[in-house]
Amino acid sequence: MIHQETLTKYLAMFIQELSNAGIENVVISPGSRSTPLAMLIAEHPKLNYYINIDERSAAFFALGIAKQTRKPVALLCTSGTAAANYYPAIVEARIARVPLVVLTADRPHELRDIGAPQAINQIHLYGEHVKWFTEMAIPEANEEMFSFVRTTASRAVSIALLEPAGPVHLNFPLREPLIPIIEPSPYADLDDQPSVTVTHGHLMPNENVMLDLSEKLKNTEKGLIICGVLDHPYLQDSIIELAEKLGYPILADPLSQLRSGNFSGDYIIDNYDAILKETQYKEKLKPDVILRFGGMPVSKPLMLFMKSLSDTEHFIVESGNGGWRDPIKKATQMIYCDEALFCNELCKKVNKKENAQWLYMWQHLNNISRSTVIQEIGDINELDEGKVVLELIKGMPENSTLFVGNSMPIRDVDTFFHFNSKKIRVMANRGANGIDGVVSSALGASLYGEPLFLLIGDLSFFHDLNGLLAAKMYQLNITIIVINNNGGGIFHYLPQSSEKKHFEVLFGTPTDLAFEHVVQMYNGNYSKVRNWDDFQQSIEASVETKGLHVIEVPTNREKNVEVHRKMWKHVSMEVDHYLRGDQL
C-alpha cells in the first residue's frame, strides 16, 4: 500500500472512531504537520470544525464548547510551540473537569531532538495536567494497527469523560508527504457505529454510610447544604428536595445553577457572602452538620466561616472518584458517589422535619441582607461594578447564559446575582481561576447557548483579545460587558493596597486602552455607557441585533472599594440588629 493510502486509512479510522465515540466538535489551528488530520476532519460527514489561529484561544474556545454542551471536544494543532500554547486551557480543563481530546501532530522519531524545524519534545508535553497521554504509532495499514487506532480513539474519549472528567493528549508522529486521499471519501466504507462501546457505572452510595448519616440528620436541626460549582443538568431538583426534607437552607454559589431556575427559591440562600462578613455572630449561625456538593464556593467569608468551625461534621459528596476539593481541610467524611443518587437515597430515609426555626433564621437574614443590598445599590446613580450585575440580570432574557470573568466579576456576581426564575445558566473558568482565555471560552459556549452575556474585567478582556477573531469569523452572537476600571481592581481589596509606593505600577497596572478600536477591527458593535439608561438600552440593543457587542462600563477602582465597604457596613448593621434581638 502506498504511503498516502496508509496515512489516509489509518487516520480516517481514528477520526471515524472519535466521531463514533461522541466527539461532535473539533477546533483546528492551521499548520503543516497536522495537514492530513485537518483535511480528514474537514471531510468527515458528521464533525463540525472551527478554525482558530491562536492556539491559546483555540483551546479555551474548545473548553467553552465542552462546558456548554457537556460533551467532549477535540483540538488539533501542528508541531512545535503551537502545542505549548494549549497549556493554560489544558490546566484549566484538568482542574475544572472539562473533557478535551487534544491531538498534536509531531515530527516522526527520526526528526526529533536533532535541530529539525518546529520539532520540540512533545512526549508528555502537558505533564500531569492531562489524564492520559499516548504517543501514537507511525501510520501503518494492517488489522492490528487499525484495531489499535480505533481502540485508542474510543479510550481517549472515554477517559476524558470518566469522572472527574478532563483533558487527554494524543501525539501523532507523521511523515511526509502529508496529503491524504479524500476522493473518493475515505469514510464511505467505514462503520459509523463504535467498534467498542464504553459505559461507565455510576457510583452508588455505601448503604451503611447512608443509614448512619440519615440517623444523624434526622436528629440534627442545624444543618447547611453548601453548593459550589455544579453543572449537572438534573441535580438541582434532587438537592432542593433534600433541603426540603431536612429543613436545611442551601448556601448556593452562583455556579451551582441553583440561583436561577424553574423551582422554588425558598431554600436558596444567595446572600451568605454579605451575611458572613460579620463574624461576631458565628455561634448563632454555626451548623452542626454541613453537606457540601461541588467545588469550593467563591465566597471568601463563607470559606473563612467554615474554616473557623469546630465540632461541625462536614460531609463532602462527589462523583469524581479521588477528587479532594477541601482547601480548608475541614472534611470529616468524603463520600464518593453520584450526587443525585446520594440525595435521592437520603430523601427516602428521612421524613420531612417540622421544626424550622433554624431555616427561618437563615431565610430572614437572607431577606434583610438582600433588601439592604438592593436598597444601597438602588441609591447609587453613578456607574458601579456591583450594580452592573443587578442591571444586567434585569436586561437578560430567559434561558440565557451568563459567562463570568474571574477576579472581581465572579465576586460581584456572587454578591448581586439574586435568586430568579429566568433559568440563567452561569458559567466561569473556576478550575484555576485564571483571567486568561475567558473571551474564547465564552465564545465557544455561545456557539451552543445563545443568547450569551460575558461579564468581564478590562485586564481579562485584554488578555484574550485574540479570542475575538472567532466572533468575526463565525459571526457569533455575544454581548460582552467590560467593566473597565483600568487595571487590577481586586488588588485594592488586598493588603498591598496600603503600600502606596509601588501599588499602581505593580498591581494597579492601568493600560489606558481605548477598546473601541480593537472592537472595530473585529467588526463588533461597541458602546461605552455613561449612565444606567445607556446601559439598559445597550443591553436591549445587543439582544435585538446579532453579532458581537461590546458594552464598556467605565468604573473607578478606589470608588468601588468605598461603595462596597459602605454597603457591607449597612448589611452588618441590619444583621446585627436582627441577631441581637431575641427572635431566635
Residues 168-197 that bind its own copies (CB under 8 A): 177-179, 182
Among 47, 165, 365, 459, binds its own copies (CB under 8 A): 459
Residues with Cβ within 8 Å of residue 295, at least 6 apart in sequence: 228, 229, 255, 325, 430
Question: Quick check: 437 binds its own copies (CB under 8 A)?
Answer: yes
Which of these ranges, 10-18, 231-239, 354-362, 508-516, lies near its own copies under the rule CB under 8 A?
508-516
Alpha-carbon torsion angle 238, 241, 246, 250, nearest 10:
70
Chain-centroid distance of CA 335 in Å reads: 23
Among 200, 352, 500, 517, binds its own copies (CB under 8 A): 517
- What x-and-dash track marks residues 300-339 binding its own copies by CB under 8 A? -----------------------xxxxx-x----------
- Whole-number minimum distance, CB 233 to its own copies, in Å? 22
Which of these ranges, 5-13, 108-116, 217-225, 357-365, lies near its own copies under the rule CB under 8 A?
108-116
Which of these ranges, 155-163, 167-175, 434-442, 541-549, lies near its own copies under the rule CB under 8 A?
434-442
Among 69, 87, 162, 237, binds its own copies (CB under 8 A): 87
Nearer to its own copies, 431 or 449 (CB): 431
For the record, the C-alpha cell of 342 comes out as 446520594
- Whole-number minimum distance, CB 300 to its own copies, in Å? 9
- What x-and-dash track marks residues 31-70 binding its own copies by CB under 8 A? -x--x--xx--xx-------x-xxxx--------------
Within 250-395, where are the H helices? 272-275, 282-285, 300-308, 339-349, 357-378, 385-395
- What x-and-dash track marks residues 280-299 binding its own copies by CB under 8 A? ---------------xx---
Tell me the backbone φ, ψ of residue 345, rounded to 5 degrees.
-60, -45
- What x-and-dash track marks residues 402-431 binding its own copies by CB under 8 A? ----------------------------x-
How many residues are there in the chain? 584
What region, left, alpha or beta, does residue 368 occupy, with left being phi > 0 and alpha being psi -120 to 50 degrees? alpha
Q: How many residues touch its own copies (CB under 8 A)?
A: 89
Among 1, 45, 46, 81, binds its own copies (CB under 8 A): 81
Nearer to its own copies, 151 or 475 (CB): 475
Rounded Cα distance, 316 and 334, in Å: 5
- CA atoms lying within 13 Å on the CB side of residue 573: 10
How are strands ordered across the β-sheet holding 48-51?
48-51, 25-28, 73-77, 100-106, 167-173, 132-135
Name the 3-class secondary structure at 484. strand
Rounded Cα distance, 278 and 260, in Å: 26
Rounded Cα distance, 133 and 102, in Å: 9
Rounded Cα distance, 272 and 277, in Å: 8
- Whole-number minimum distance, CB 221 to its own copies, in Å? 29
Tell me the backbone φ, ψ of residue 315, rounded to 5 degrees.
-100, 125
For the record, the C-alpha cell of 576 comes out as 446585627
Nearer to its own copies, 177 or 378 (CB): 177
Nearer to its own copies, 494 or 573 (CB): 494
Among 399, 475, 511, 545, binds its own copies (CB under 8 A): 511
Question: Quick check: 97 binds its own copies (CB under 8 A)?
Answer: no
Rounded Cα distance, 464 and 550, in Å: 14
Among 58, 82, 361, 456, binds its own copies (CB under 8 A): 82
Nearer to its own copies, 196 or 328 (CB): 328
For the record, the C-alpha cell of 7 comes out as 496515512
Among 118, 220, 308, 312, binds its own copies (CB under 8 A): 118
* DSSP designation for 466: G
Rounded Cα distance, 469 and 39, in Å: 22
Question: Quick check: 525 binds its own copies (CB under 8 A)?
Answer: no
Question: Quick check: 436 binds its own copies (CB under 8 A)?
Answer: yes
- What x-and-dash track marks residues 197-216 binding its own copies by CB under 8 A? --------------------
Question: Quick check: 490 binds its own copies (CB under 8 A)?
Answer: yes
Rounded Cα distance, 458 and 530, in Å: 17
